[in-house]
Chains A and B, each alone.
Chain A
Amino acid sequence: DADVTQTPRNRITKTGKRIMLECSQTKGHDRMYWYRQDPGLGLRLIYYSFDVKDINKGEISDGYSVSRQAQAKFSLSLESAIPNQTALYFCATSDGTGLGAKNIQYFGAGTRLSVL
């Protein structure tokens, strides 16, 4: 089984719809992240969480919200989807920068989202 699992893998939705992308990890890490990847723009950070009670905005958080339901689960929501949110979304986890940690980032397989 994958260390980081994202569901769904593909999603087509219409403008104005609310959708949720889910992520779970089996690495036992505290830190989890959501990124989006667009052609020519690389990967950009949407939100990140250092533990269940910690949520932080990344560089492009407008139009998105997140929920850290448990150490292993971190979901991303688009409250009212718009076409320019069409992208490849990735969830990631890392062990952070504490003693002995290397902050290696492990990525899920991605969710391809199309907003029509």
Chain B
Amino acid sequence: KQEVTQIPAALSVPEGENLVLNCSFTDSAIYNLQWFRQDPGKGLTSLLLIQSSQREQTSGRLNASLDKSSGRSTLYIAASQPGDSATYLCAVFKAAGNKLTFGGGTRVLVKP
């Protein structure tokens, strides 16, 4: 059974600092990994998707890496801003069984 873990569960940083969010998964036979952002009481917004054959994806200040063999992904957010405050979720998709498994999320607070 796939298990996805995100550590830390919560993170508080001053504005301008780089953010490093970690995601680990137990079954490396994944189709892709997706990072989401969730604001309080809101839905999930897709940030980055990394296919199993890729090592990283970048979008603006965001960079996500994937090391499938070790079961790890890292989301980097450069030069954090108060608007980056949210919960960040990673999810791994396994095509067999059409199973998307979510981590518990990391709640981020960027202080001005």
Contact = CB atoms under 8 A, between A and B. Distances in A.
Given A56-B98, A97-B95, A102-B32, A107 B104 contact: no
Interface stretch (A12-20, A42-50, A63-71, A76-84): A42-50
Interface residues of B, number: 23
Given A40-B104, A102-B51, A103-B31, A90 B44 contact: yes
A104 B36 CA distance: 11
Nearest to B36: A107
A110 B43 contact: yes
Interface in B93-107: 93, 95, 98-100, 102-105
Given A102-B51, A110-B42, 14 more contacts: A40-B104, A42-B104, A42-B105, A43-B89, A43-B102, A45-B99, A45-B100, A90-B44, A102-B32, A104-B34, A104-B46, A104-B49, A105-B93, A110-B41
24 contacts: A4-B43, A42-B89, A42-B102, A42-B104, A43-B89, A43-B91, A56-B98, A92-B44, A103-B31, A103-B32, A104-B46, A105-B34, A105-B44, A105-B46, A105-B91, A105-B93, A107-B36, A107-B45, A107-B46, A109-B42, A109-B43, A110-B41, A110-B42, A112-B41
